[in-house]
């Protein structure tokens, strides 16, 4: 199984992201647009791993209180265009605790520096236009262990385990 840990986004966040995608499409940008059901914020990418149970055990031991996230601007890694997430101390703390728990349990993950983003377009054509995102925010009440499968028409992400905030 190809696994990652993510925050799934609220409808309000997805609507704002969808609106930005629509404007980019109308301005001629072509590429592989992330469908709303696939929009998420990755906290840790595990990759191929045979068993979800040690991961759900590790996640269950990481507690966090609900916190707010908001969108903040757009950026790109080459031809992968994304929407950024505003600076958030609780998010940074959660990722640090989560990654430490994975490491302590011997679960491998991509140790690249955390750069909170939601991918909007892969293989985007042209240059990133100056598009303003509609303001949007959400309360994070849970994180998710996700499985990624290659479907006939793109990636299919399935939630295997929801890990709830406390309080
Ligand atoms: P991306 O959107 O920036 O590509 C599922 O692939 C999720 O894991 C995506 O959000 C992807 O981020 C993220 N991810 C992080 N590191 C990855 C890696 N090394 N390989 C594939 N996906 C990775």
Q: Which residue bears the tokens 């140790």?
A: 111
**Euclidean distance between CA atoms 145 and 159, whole angstroms:** 6
Cβ-Cβ contacts under 8 Å for 123 (sequence gap 6 or more):
31, 32, 79, 80
Residue 117 annotated as catalytic: yes
Please compute the mean of the pLDDT values over residues 31-46 and round it to a whole number. 98
For ligand 1, residues with CB inside 6 Å are: 4, 42, 45, 80, 110, 119, 148
pLDDT of residue 167: 74
- Catalogue all structural domains in the chain, each as residue range(s) with its CATH number: 2-164 (3.90.1140.10)
Q: How far is the CA of 124 from the centre of ligand 1 (A)?
A: 16
Contact criterion met (CB below 8 Å) for 7 and 140: yes
Sheet harboring 80-85: ordered strands across?
A: 32-33, 117-122, 80-85, 67-77, 137-140
Helix (H) or strand (E) holding 71: strand 67-77
Options 40, 116, 143, 146, the catalytic residue: 40
Residue 40 annotated as catalytic: yes
Q: pLDDT tens for residues 95-105?
A: 999 999 999 99
Cβ-Cβ contacts under 8 Å for 80 (sequence gap 6 or more):
119, 121, 122, 123, 124
**Euclidean distance between CA atoms 120 and 21, whole angstroms:** 7
Please compute the mean of the pLDDT values over residues 18-47 and round it to a whole number. 97
User: pTM for this one?
Assistant: 0.96
Q: pLDDT tens for residues 110-150?
A: 999 999 999 999 999 988 888 899 999 999 999 999 999 99
Q: How far is the CA of 45 from the centre of ligand 1 (A)?
A: 6
**Euclidean distance between CA atoms 102 and 89, whole angstroms:** 20
């Amino acid at each position: 199984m190809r696994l990652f840990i993510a925050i799934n986004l609220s409808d309000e966040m997805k609507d704002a992201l969808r609106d930005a995608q629509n404007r980019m499409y109308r301005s001629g940008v072509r590429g592989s647009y992330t469908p709303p059901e696939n929009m998420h914020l990755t906290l840790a990418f595990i990759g191929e791993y045979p068993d979800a149970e040690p991961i759900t055990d590790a996640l269950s031991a990481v507690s966090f209180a609900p916190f707010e996230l908001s969108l903040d601007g757009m950026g790109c890694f080459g031809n992968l265009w994304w929407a950024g997430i505003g600076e958030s101390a609780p998010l940074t703390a959660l990722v640090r605790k989560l990654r430490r728990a994975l490491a302590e349990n011997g679960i491998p993950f991509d140790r690249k520096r955390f750069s909170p983003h939601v991918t909007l377009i892969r293989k985007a054509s042209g240059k990133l236009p100056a598009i303003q995102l509609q303001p949007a925010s959400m309360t994070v009440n849970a994180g998710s262990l996700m499985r990624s499968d290659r479907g006939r028409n793109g990636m299919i992400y399935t939630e295997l385990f929801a890990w709830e905030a406390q309080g």
